[in-house]
Structures are given as C-alpha cells and as structure tokens.
C-alpha cells in the first residue's frame, strides 16, 4: 500500500495566505503537541513571510518561535520555505550569509528546507541545497509552476533532473497561484516521476477553486506528498483542507493513515481563532471564495489584489483591464518568469507603469532593470535584444550566477550590529532585514516590545508593502523623482500625489 503523505501548513502558509502572516507564537504553541501526534509527513512552521512578519509586525523573535515549536514537536519533521539566494528577504545575499542562515535554521530545529527561486534558475538555489545537505537537513528543491509558451512538461522534467543532480532529497512543485488544473497535474507529476527517483511533493492554493481535484489527479499520478491546511484555515487563498482529503483517500490504495477524530480536535482548536479574525477584519471573507480570474489571467490572487490596490491609489481602477492585458506582455518581454515573490511584484508594477504612463517602459523601476540585466538569474526564455536595449541602453546584461558578484558580507554585517545582538542568530536577522531587525533589537533592549496577550486580535492588518523595498531608501527616492517628473499633466499630477503619499511614512520616519 502506498501511503500519501500530508504536510500541514497551518503554522506557515495557511495564515500567510489568509491573515497576512499574523498568527502569533502563543496562538500556535498550545496545539503543537497535538499536531505532532497526528502523523503528518511534516509540519510547515517557519520561513516564507513569517520571519519578516515576526520582526516587523508581531514584535517576536522568529528564532525563538522556531525553538519553541521544536520543543513541542518532537516526532514530526518541521518544514520551512526558503526563497533560494533571497533567503527570507527580497534580494540576493552573499553565499556566506546563505550558508550560515541554513546552518542556524537547522541548528534551531528545522528538518526539511523547501528551496525555490522566482526565475526557476537552479544556480540560485544550489548554495542553499548544498548547505542543507552539509548540515544534515532534508533539501527539498522546488520548481515554481507556471504556464507559458516555453513551459512544457519536458522543461519541468529536465529542471527536476537538474535539481536531483544537485543532491536534492525531494522535489516540490510549487503552484503558488493555484493555476495547476487536475489533468495537467496528472501529466506533470507523471513526467516528473519518470524523470527523477526522489520523492515528489505538490503544493498548491485553493484560489481558483480547482485544488482538491488537482490533488486527486496528482495522487493518481503517483505524487508522494501534498500540502493541506486544517479546515478552519483552509480554502480560498490558502491550501485545500486536510480533513476532506484524508476522508477521500481512506480505505483506498492512497490512504493517508491519519485519524479524522484527532484532526477534528485540531480544527476545534483553530475554529474560534478564525471567528475572531473574521470579526476583527484580519480575515477578509473575500479571501475565502473562489477567484476564477486566476485561471483566466494566470496571475496569483495576491498579485491581482495588489494591482487593484495600486490602481486605486492612482484613481485608475478603470484601467484594470488594460493592466491585465499588459501583464502577459511584460512577462513575455522579461522572458516568461513564473509570477511569485518577487517577480510577481516586479512584473505587476511594470505593467501598471506602462499603462498609467501611456507609454511602455517610459518609467522603469530598478527591479525591472534588474530582471532584464540578469540580476535575478536566467529567465526561462532569453530576453530580446530590443527590450534589453530599450531598458538597459548600452549596459551589458550579466550571464553569471548573480551571487557570484556579491562579496562575502557576514563579517562586515556582524561588525555593524555587534553592540545590539543578544544571540548569534541576531546577526542573520540583521543581515536579512537591517532596518526592521534594528528596530526590533532597540525595542527589545528598551523593554518596549509589544508582548500583548493573544487577545484582542489586531484590527485590519496592514498588507505587507509589496511594490517597494522598505529597506532601500534609493527606491523611495526613485519613486519620488519619477513622481515629480510626472507632474505636468492632469493624470501625471494625480500619479505624483499618490506616489508621494505612498512613500510618506518613510519621510515622516525621518529616513529621507
Ligand atoms: C513566500 O515566498 O513567502 C511564498 O510563500 C512564496
């Protein structure tokens, strides 16, 4: 009998997808021992946006969260999501930072590290894979799923083979937008299972409404493990629910072996939280519905709502149709990158600029230039000479692995922050998110961390700012400069006002 494994995402992706990553450690700890007792393949409990959210919004030390969860989950492997060379931040870090981060994640209790890259460039995940293997962890190499004229079964199967060749212990297909349809999943999993010998896991989101059908076909095709979330934190932008899948597979050749009564106790624990989050506005019921637009426009749900909010800020929601038509064109110009953090923001913002400015690539943010220049890695298909010339002028794109151009940076970072650290891991928090970590260290020193008990839930969560890197003042300056140069025409002035409004928190915070 071939048991299908279940990775439970409630402690990471489920709340990242539904409540902007705001679940607190105290809300998790009382149920971890029971989760540990279920017999899951793994518990996804760290990584992705949780690291940033802990430090930035929750006044929590993410390392402390990991240790506390590990102390209660003694049997079930813990799993995390790592953004390849971007670790848990938004830019490429030097290899010495990547290696040290992986070392510390494993030393603090991590077992399985799922490593992806937004461009699917294997060179961007190799350092993390090798570090994970060296530290005795399970290295799960990830392929970001997308559709385009260049993304064929053959390409995905070849990518999987390359990752297996790098020493990965398993492969994950990460369908972050819920684009993978059931029969496509069947063919994809078959193709990958034929290409590699290591186990294959599938991760998807319910956004477009097809996810549980997709899992069933993937299971029939031989997938080894799938990601689900316990029902109160499932569906919508989160994962398919754990219990219906467990029930559907019971007494079949794919039985998960999990006990529905025990799962019911877990759901019971989380149900009141869900009610509380809906009441406080943290969980928007809109997140729970089916958004078939994801299937039509092939963009992640989060990206769609981001586009709408960018257009609202410029009083241009009526331009949504034009922007949605522009997104695939920009994506084609940029070599068909999958749309996932950070490529989804880069492509989306460029599409908005192209439409609002009334001329394509009149305004090109630093990140778009970075993609065309090769600073994020090799795109799935080559970027045309014409686009390269238009955006880079006479500058030459780079063809090496982007991190090869980054000098070791750990010692310099350690020196910079030596007076504020209270544990070795703080060096890494600072390396990843300098401003955010520093503010956290200061509050910790001053004893002003918000240690409010679990109640009451925060009012309406501020969505993580997706368009601009808060760590980077240059970016803010660029926005203001572009805004100022847009002043002149009626819509340009409005655009300028909105852009300046957008960066005003930094101005007020005295960072400019
Ligand atoms: C993250 O990078 O946080 C995702 O969940 C894709």
The answer, yes or no, to whether residue 58 has pLDDT greater than 90, is: yes
For residue 47, the ligand 1 atom closest to its alpha carbon is 3
Distance (Å) from CA 81 to ligand 1 centroid: 7
3-class DSSP state for residue 319? Answer: helix
pLDDT score, position 2: 65
Q: What pLDDT digit, counting tens, does each position of 59-96 carry?
A: 999 999 999 999 999 999 999 999 999 999 988 999 99
The answer, yes or no, to whether residue 207 has pLDDT greater than 70, is: yes
For residue 13, the ligand 1 atom closest to its alpha carbon is 5
The alpha carbon of 416 is separated from its chain's Cα centroid by a whole number of angstroms, namely 28
CB 264 within 8 A of CB 34: no
Best of 11, 44, 45, 48 to mutate for ligand 1, by most ligand atoms within 8 A of CB?
Answer: 48
Residue nearest to atom 2 of ligand 1 (CA): 48
In whole angstroms, give the CA distance from residue 227 to residue 232.
Answer: 15
The DSSP call for residue 240 is: P
* Proportion of the chain above pLDDT 90, given as a percent: 79
The C-alpha R_g of the chain, in whole angstroms, comes to 22
pLDDT score, position 454: 52
For residue 176, the ligand 1 atom closest to its alpha carbon is 6
Rounded alpha-carbon distances, angstroms, from residue 89 to 48, 93, 301, 308: 9, 9, 21, 24
In this prediction the ipTM stands at 0.97
Distance (Å) from CA 252 to ligand 1 centroid: 33
| CA end-to-end span of the chain | 63
Cβ of residue 340 lying under 6 Å from some atom of ligand 1: yes
Choose among 144, 39, 91, 99: nearest CA to 380: 144
Cis link prior to 453 (omega < 30° from 0)? no
Q: What pLDDT digit, counting tens, does each position of 352-401 carry?
A: 999 999 999 999 999 999 999 999 999 999 998 899 999 999 999 999 99
What is the average pLDDT across 415-441?
98
Give strand pairing partners of 227.
Answer: 7
In whole angstroms, give the CA distance from residue 243 to residue 70.
Answer: 24
pLDDT score, position 293: 82
Distance (Å) from CA 12 to ligand 1 centroid: 10
Enter the tokens of residue 300: 């992640």
Best of 9, 18, 81, 87 to mutate for ligand 1, by most ligand atoms within 8 A of CB?
Answer: 81
pLDDT score, position 309: 84
The answer, yes or no, to whether residue 428 has pLDDT greater than 80, is: yes
Cβ of residue 176 lying under 6 Å from some atom of ligand 1: yes
Cβ of residue 49 lying under 6 Å from some atom of ligand 1: yes
Cβ of residue 81 lying under 6 Å from some atom of ligand 1: yes
Q: What pLDDT digit, counting tens, does each position of 435-473 carry?
A: 999 999 999 999 999 876 555 344 444 444 334 444 454
If one compares 73 and 285, the residue with the highest pLDDT of the two is 73
pLDDT score, position 305: 75
Distance (Å) from CA 50 to ligand 1 centroid: 9
pLDDT score, position 453: 55
Distance (Å) from CA 465 to ligand 1 centroid: 14
What b/e string do you get for 152-187 counting C-beta neighbours within 10 Å, with b at 16 or more? eeebbbebbebbbeeebbbbbbbbbbbbbbbebbbe
DSSP sequence for 437-454: HHHHHHHHHHT------S
The answer, yes or no, to whether residue 303 has pLDDT greater than 90, is: no
Q: What pLDDT digit, counting tens, does each position of 225-274 carry?
A: 999 999 999 999 999 999 999 999 999 999 999 999 999 999 999 999 99
Distance (Å) from CA 485 to ligand 1 centroid: 34
Q: For the chain, what is the mean pLDDT?
A: 89
């Amino acid at each position: 009998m071939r048991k299908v494994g279940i990775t439970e995402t409630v402690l990471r992706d489920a709340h990242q997808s539904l409540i902007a990553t705001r679940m607190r450690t105290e809300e998790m700890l009382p149920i971890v021992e029971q989760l540990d007792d279920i017999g899951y393949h793994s518990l996804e409990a760290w990584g992705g946006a949780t690291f940033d959210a802990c430090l930035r919004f929750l006044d929590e030390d993410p390392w402390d969260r990991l240790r506390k969860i590990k102390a209660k989950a003694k049997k079930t492997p813990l799993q995390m999501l790592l953004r390849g060379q971007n670790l848990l931040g938004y830019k490429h870090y030097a290899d010495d930072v990547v290696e040290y981060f992986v070392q510390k994640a494993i030393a603090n209790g991590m077992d399985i590290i799922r490593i992806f890259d937004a461009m699917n460039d294997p060179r961007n995940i190799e350092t993390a894979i090798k570090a994970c293997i060296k530290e005795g962890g399970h290295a799960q190499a990830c392929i970001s799923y997308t559709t385009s004229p260049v993304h064929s079964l053959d390409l995905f199967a070849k990518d999987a083979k390359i990752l297996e060749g790098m020493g990965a212990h398993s492969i994950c297909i990460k369908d972050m937008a819920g684009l993978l349809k059931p029969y496509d999943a069947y063919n994809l999993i078959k193709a990958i299972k034929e290409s590699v010998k290591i186990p294959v896991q599938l991760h998807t989101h319910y956004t477009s409404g097809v996810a549980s059908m997709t899992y069933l076909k993937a299971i029939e095709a031989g997938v080894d493990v799938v990601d689900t979330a316990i029902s109160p934190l499932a569906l919508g932008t989160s994962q398919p629910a754990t219990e219906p899948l467990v029930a559907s597979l019971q007494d079949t050749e794919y039985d998960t072996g999990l006990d529905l009564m025990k799962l019911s106790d877990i759901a019971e624990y989380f149900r009141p939280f869900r009610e509380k989050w809906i009441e406080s506005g943290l969980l928007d019921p809109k997140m729970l519905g089916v958004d078939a637009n994801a299937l039509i426009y092939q963009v992640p749900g989060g990206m769609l709502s981001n586009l709408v909010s960018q257009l609202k800020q410029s009083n241009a929601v009526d331009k949504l149709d034009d922007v949605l038509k522009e997104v695939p064109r920009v994506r084609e110009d940029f070599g068909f990158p999958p749309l996932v953090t950070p490529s989804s923001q880069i492509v989306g913002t460029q599409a908005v600029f192209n439409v609002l400015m009334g001329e394509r690539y009149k305004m090109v943010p630093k990140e778009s230039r970075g993609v065309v220049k090769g600073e994020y890695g090799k795109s799935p298909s080559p970027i045309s000479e014409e686009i390269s010339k238009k955006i880079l002028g006479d500058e030459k794109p780079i063809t090496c692995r982007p991190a090869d151009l980054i000098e070791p940076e750990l010692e310099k970072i350690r020196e910079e922050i030596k007076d504020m650290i209270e544990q070795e891991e703080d060096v890494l928090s600072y390396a990843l998110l300098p401003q955010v970590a520093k503010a956290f260290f200061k509050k910790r020193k001053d004893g002003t961390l918000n240690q409010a008990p679990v109640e009451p839930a925060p009012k309406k969560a501020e969505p993580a700012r997706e368009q601009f890197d808060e760590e980077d003042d240059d970016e803010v300056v660029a926005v203001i400069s572009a805004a100022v140069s847009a002043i002149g025409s009626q819509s340009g002035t409005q655009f300028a006002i909105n852009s300046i409004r957008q960066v005003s928190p930094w101005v007020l915070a005295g960072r400019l």
